Structure formats: structure tokens, C-alpha cells
Structure 1
């Protein structure tokens, strides 16, 4: 019977994961063919497979739409996984990279880098774009270490204290970011403001190369150690009895999580609530085992960002609404719903 249950759960996981990927592909197709300059699917396929080369099609597909779609998929995938990891490490279903201040800390570090070293936001050379995730990682690690320091109560992480400390740190880092950005010249300030709101505007293939190594390296580590996340959610005494080094495992997961979030912030700014919503949806669909939850979280996060970005760039066309704002419009009511549900 147990073997049959495992087969059933595995089949359910495959169905949900493949269905979410299929929906993401459909959204990608709609995004690449629709916009200010509409194209037919034949035009897209001929351009992609080089059966024809029309300068207008090449420019629209390879310079404007494809990089934006790919970076949106990568950012959503990474943020969904990071949210699942944070909720598992903290044993708190309200944990999220944005709520805990990791987003704000990574954004603050990158704004400092832009102001003192780089000088521009999107007009950066390839070297500065590739090094920005590292500065974001350092900022995110500062936030993570401060959380571990101040959110402890009697030697253990207190979920309620973690949320309160995270919100306080998020406000503080956000205030520093605003102060530094106000010191920028007007053009850089305007671009930094759009970027901080969570925008995929004017992303290039270099931005994809900047975030891709972090995802390729860190995601397999998280998935390989996913069973440890299951153990971390057990009773503290029971986990120790099974031989789990809780602090070591939490630190490894935290390092991986901060790396993913910082890489995403460096190329897309503050895209919040993905890490909060995706794990809740994944657990409802495939259960609580993290070997299933983590991939599904990535797929759901990918779908959310792709849909949010498409809505943001089409519903107010020719103006554009950053994807971070679109997702926040959905995420804030959902967060309030979770808070009330948790109180019951």
C-alpha cells in the first residue's frame, strides 16, 4: 500500500510539473508573437530556425522579446525555489525573501555598487553585469546572518520573531537604498527606480549569462539535499536523534537561497511574493515532501513571472507596468489571507 501511495504521489507530481511547464510554454508563445509588433507563428519559427532573415523580425525576437522571456522564466524559477527553501529552513509558511529582507539587502548592495563603482543601471558593460550578483549575494548574506542572530529565542529560530525582524530589516535596507538612489543623477535615478520595482525591461543576453551559472550550480544542490529539508521540519529533538546537523544544513540552504535571490535581484530588481505564493500552491498540489515541492515551486514561479510580465507590458500599452508591481497586486491580498488563515 505504501508503495502504491508513493507511485500515486510521483505520478501526481509529474502531471502537475509537466502541466505547469506546458502552460509556461503557451505563455512564452503568446509573449513572443504578441505585442506592439504582432507576428504570426510561422514568422517566429522561420526566424528562430533561420529559414528567413528579416531585420525587423530578428530585432524584435532576438533583441527584445526572447531575452525578456528567458530572464523572466529563470527569475521566476529561482525565486520559487528560494521561497520553498526559506519556508523549510525557518519552518514558517509566511517566510519569503522579500518579507525577510533578503530582497532589500541584495538590492541595497547592488545600488551601492551602481553608485560607487558602476555609475549606470542598464547601460553597464558585460563585466559589471556579471559581477553584480556577487555584490547582491554579499548584501543578502548580511541580511541572512542578521536574521539568524536576532530571530533566535532560547537557542532556536522563533517563526514570529523572524517575520518581525525581517520586516524591520527590510524597511531599514529599503531606506538606505532610497537615500543612495536619491544621490544619483536624474537619469540613473529614474532607471534605478524602475529596476527596483521589479522590471524586466531592456534585459539582454548578458543578463541571462549573469544569472544562469547561479541557477545551474545552486538548484541541483538544493534538490539533492531536499530530503534534509523534510528532516528540518520535524521536531527539533527528533531531527537531532536522526543525526541531522541542523545549524550546518540550515547554513548551506541559506547560502544557496541567498545566492539565487541575489542573482535574480541583480537582473530583475525586486520581484516579490513569488517565494511566498509558489510554495503554498505547490504543497496543495503535490504534498509536503520537498523533493516534489521544490521543482513544482520553480515551475509555478516561472509561470507567475511570465504571466505577470506579459500583463504588465500589454494591458497598459504603450506604457509598461513592471512585473514586480503586477505580482504585488496579486501577492498582497494573498499574504493578508494567509495571515488571517494562520490565526485561526
Structure 2
């Protein structure tokens, strides 16, 4: 745990000091402490880099913990929050918003800045709740039905998004393309304020229910025999996961594979108990997003690669590795 925090702090420092506008350590500390601050340094740190770093950490924590919950509830190590159709639902809502309101909402006020994230949040929640309702059968939630319904819904919503995107003007098309690939380049303090309440509210609930995730790895009869209302607990945990993913996707776009990779890495580090997995999983997710964003900014400078693409470059081989390993075990 301590080593993970140390690596995150190191990556935090590198992201804060490096970029198109490099700063010395002294300049960073004097600016942060407000000692004779220079206006250029204040703008770069507090308006550009620091919000981006904080959003990367928050999104990484939220997506990783949501992935651990989803894998625990479905008992499927290949489950990922994107499979629930939340990413596709948020993406479709963003595309619909840009298609009908393109260029009409202007200004720098809270309503103008938060309009797109709020549409994304609403779309992600609506898609996830619809999929959840379809997956409920005979008074119980079927995990495999949930995954299959999510995949089908993601495909359908993706088709709707593509159809509307092709009818957009060039500027909005570019914005949608960047957003759907997963990007935090436009992070700001208002976005942070929109995400933090969800994490503060839902993550403690999930951690408090971590023992339920352990019990859900047993068969249904064993879970009921210890007095656990499994369907009620699954519903609560899934709703918490849906809320986390919707909030994160609404400000960062479709960043995939974090919810897939982080839980597996955490299990290899601390074992199978979810009380230990969840905090470590959050640290791993934060590090993955923060490091990927730093790589996307620095390696391809002056161009910038969206963080979602960098993570996908890592995540696709990892997903294939997991498939191969599960095949060998079978």
C-alpha cells in the first residue's frame, strides 16, 4: 500500500512539472505555497495540470473499484464496467446532446461547462438501469444475462451514436471522437466537484459491503445459508458500481480496461479478500490513468494521445492474456 502511494506521488510530481511548459521544483513549490507566485505558473498549475491530475486519480479510483464490484457480483474475472453498457449509454447521450444543441450553449458558467457531463451521467445511468431491469428474471438477477444484455445494448447504442456522429459538423465530430476514445484534456475544478460526491458517497458503502463480495463467490445456497439476502445485496452493489462508472464516464469519456486490469493486479498483490482488494484496486486504477495520461502527453508531444487509447494499448494484450490463462485452466 505504502509503495503504491509513493509511486502515485512520484507520477503526480512528474505530471505536474513536465509538459510543454516545464517548471523547476522550486517554482512548483513556491506557486503551490503562494510564495511570490508568477501568473504564468499559477495558470499552468491550478488551471491546467492540477485539475487534470486530480480527475485522472478520481476516475482511476472510481472505475477500478466499480470493476472489482462487477467481477465480484458476476463471478466473472473478464467483466468490465464497459460491458454493462454504461460507457455506450453515456456516449450516446453526449452525441445526442451535441447533435441537437451544437453551438447553442455558450459561456463559461456552471451550466455551460456541466451541460455535457450531466447529459453523459444521465445517459449512463439510464442505460445501466434499463439493462439491469432486463436482466432481472423470476425475482433474481442473472449475472450472465446481465453481461449479455450489456454487450447487446452497447452495440445498439454504439450504432445510434455512429449514425448521429456522421451527421455532425466537423468541429462537433472531432469533439465526440476525442471524448469517446477517453480523454481528460478539458478537466477543470467544476468537473472535479461533480465527481467527488459520488465517490465519497458510494465507495464507503462498497467497502462496508466488501464481505458480501467475498460471500458471493460461493454458490447461491451457501450464501443464503449464512442469512444473506443475495439478490438485495447484488442490487445494492451493482447500483453503487453503476453510479461510480456513470460519474467517471461523464467527465472522462469511454476509458476502458481500468475496471478489468486493476482488480486482477490487486488480487495478485494482496490475495482474494475484497476488504484488501478494494483499496489496492483504487490505487492501481489511479496509477494506471495518471501514468497513461502522462505518457499520452509526453511521448507524443507536441501532439497528445487520449488517455483511453494509451490504456487500450496496454489493456488489449492483458485481456488476451487473461483469456489464454482462463482457457488453460478450463
Fold-level similarity (TM above 0.5): yes
How do 1:1-344 and structure 2 match up within 5 A? 17-116=1-100, 125-127=109-111, 129-130=113-114, 135-148=119-132, 157-159=142-144, 162-344=146-328
Q: Distance in 2 between matches of 1:169 and 1:307?
A: 31
Structure 1: tracts of 5 or more residues without a match? 1-16
- Secondary structure of the 2:201 match is helix
- Determine helix, strand or coil for the equivalent of 1:99: helix
Q: Distance in 1 between matches of 2:110 and 2:281?
A: 30
**Distance in structure 2 (CA, Å) of the matches to 1:78 and 1:61:** 24
SS of equivalent to 2:304: coil
In 1, distance between residues paired with 2:98 and 2:235?
28
Q: Distance in 2 between matches of 1:121 and 1:341?
A: 49
Cα distance, 1:119 vs structure 2? 5.1
Q: C-alpha displacement at 1:135, in angstroms?
A: 4.2
Question: Take 1:56 and 1:242, find their aligned partners in 2: how far apart are those partners?
Answer: 61
**Structure 1 residue 54 displacement after superposition:** 0.7
Secondary structure class of the residue paired with 1:216: helix
Task: Please give the root-mean-square deviation of Cα atoms over the aligned residues, in Å.
Answer: 2.3
Distance 1:309 1:123, change over 3 A: farther
Return the offset for 1:132.
5.3
Q: Structure 1 pair 294/125, CA: closer, same or farther in 2 (3 Å)?
A: same
Shift of 1:257: 0.8
Q: How many residues are matched?
A: 327
Q: Deviations over 1:177-211 (max 9, x none)?
A: 22223333321221121111101112111111111
**Cα offset, 1:142, TM superposition:** 4.0
Deviation at 1:140, TM superposition (A): 3.1
TM normalised by structure 2 equals 0.91
1:8-31 deviation digits (Å, cap 9, x = unpaired): xxxxxxxxx221111111001001
Cα distance change, pair 289–171 in 1 and its aligned pair in 2 (3 A): same
Assess if the C-alpha contact under 8 Å between 1:106 and 1:136 holds in 2. yes
User: Relative to structure 1, is the Cα distance of residues 321 and 118 closer, same or farther in structure 2, using a 3 angstrom cutoff?
Assistant: same
